[in-house]
Structure 1
Amino acid sequence: MQRNYWFIALGIVWTIIFSGMSFYWAMGGLLGVRSLGGAIYEMSLNPSPSFMMIVWLTGFIKLLGLVLLLILLVQWKKPIITRILYFITKIVGSLLFLYGFLNFITITLSRLNILDFDLDSYATFWRLIFWEPFWMIGGVFYFFSLKGNKPLFNFFNKLF
C-alpha cells in the first residue's frame, strides 16, 4: 500500500473542518446553518435537547474519519490490516463522494422544478456551490489517500 501523504493531510484538514462545524453548531453557533436549509435549519433555530445531542454525536462520528486517516500513517506488520484499511478507506471515500454527488443531482433537479424539495433559493445556492462539492472533495481526499501496490489491489488501480 502506498500512501499519498498530500491526500492524507488534505483529508485530515477536511475532516477537522467538517467535524468542527458540527461542534460549533452543537455549542449554539448559527453561522452557516441557514445554508443547510429545510428542517435542519428550522430545528436549529429552536433546538430541542435531542436535536443538540444528534449534532454533538455527528461531530464525534465525523472525527472517526480523522482516526482512520491517522492510522493510515502507521506501518502495519500484518498485511491483512493493510488490506482492511485500504478497502475501508476506498469505501468511505466512495460513500462521501456519492453522498455529495447524489445530493447535487437531486438538488439540481429540484432547482429545475423536476423534484420538489423544501429548500429556499438561499439554501439551494449554498448546497450546490459549497456543501455538496465539499462532501465530494472529502471523498476524493479519502479515496486517493492510498494506492494499492499488490495484485489484490489491481482492481482499484485499473479503475482509477
Structure 2
Amino acid sequence: MATNKWFLYLGVTWTILFAGMSFYWAVGGMIGVRSLGGAVYEMSLNPTPSFVAIVWLTGFIKLLGVVLLMMLLIKWGNSRIQKALYLITRMTGLLLFLYGLLNFITIFLSTVGVLNFELDRYATFWRLVFWEPYWMIGGICYFFSIRKTRE
C-alpha cells in the first residue's frame, strides 16, 4: 500500500475543520448552524444537555478520521493491518462521498418539487453549495489518500 500524502494531509485538514465545527457548536457557537436547517437548527436554539453531549460526541467521532489517516503513514510489518487500513479508508471515503451525493440529490429534488422537505430556502441553499459538497470533498480525500501497489 502507498499513501498519496497530498490527499492524506488534505483529508486530515478537512477532518479537523469538520470536527472543529462540532466543538464550536457544542460550546454554544451559532455561526453556520442556521445553514443546517431542520431539526438540528431548531434543537440548537434551545439545546438540552443531551443534545450538547451528542454534538461533543460527534466532534470526537469525527476526529477518529485523523487517527485513521495518520495510521496510513506508519510502515506496518503486518500485511493484514495494511489491507484492513486500505479497506477501511476506501470504504470511509466512499461512504462520505455517497452521503453527500445522496443528500445533494434529495435536497435538489425537493427544490424542484419532486420531494417535500421541511427545509427553508436559506438552509437549502447552504446545503447545496457548501455542506453536501463538503462531505463529497472529504470522501474524495479519504478515498484517494491510499492506493494499492504491486508487491
TM-score by length of 2: 0.99
- Which residue is equivalent to 2:78? 78
TM-superposed CA distance for 1:149, in Å, is 1.1
Alignment of 1:78-157 (within 5 A): 78-150=78-150
Q: Distance in 1 between matches of 2:31 and 2:147?
A: 37
Identity of aligned residues (%): 66
- For structure 2, the 5+ residue unaligned runs are none
Alpha-carbon separation, structure 2, partners of 1:37 and 1:145: 31
Over residues 49-76 of structure 1, what are the superposed CA-to-partner deviations in whole Å (9 max), with x where a residue is unaligned?
1100110000000000000011111000
Please report how far the alpha carbon of residue 89 of structure 1 lies from its aligned counterpart in structure 2 after TM superposition.
0.3
1:69-121 Cα deviation digits (max 9, x unpaired): 11111000111110000000000000000000000000000001110111000
**Which consecutive residues of structure 1, in runs of 5 or more, have no partner in the other structure?**
152-160
* Residues 59-74 of structure 1: pairs in structure 2 closer than 5 A: 59-74=59-74
Aligned residues: 151
**Shift of residue 150 of structure 1?**
3.6
Structure 1 equivalent of residue 13 of structure 2: 13
Runs of 4+ in structure 1 deviating by more than 3 angstroms, as ranges, are none
Q: Which stretch shows the higher mean deviation, 2-11 or 142-151?
A: 142-151
Q: Give the AA of the match of 1:95.
A: L
Question: Aligned AA for 1:63?
Answer: L
Letter in 1 for 2:71: I
Q: Distance in 2 between matches of 1:35 and 1:62?
A: 20
Q: Distance in 2 between matches of 1:113 and 1:52?
A: 34
Give, in whole Å, the separation in 1 of the partners of 2:60 and 2:112.
36
For 1:154, the equivalent position in structure 2 comes to none
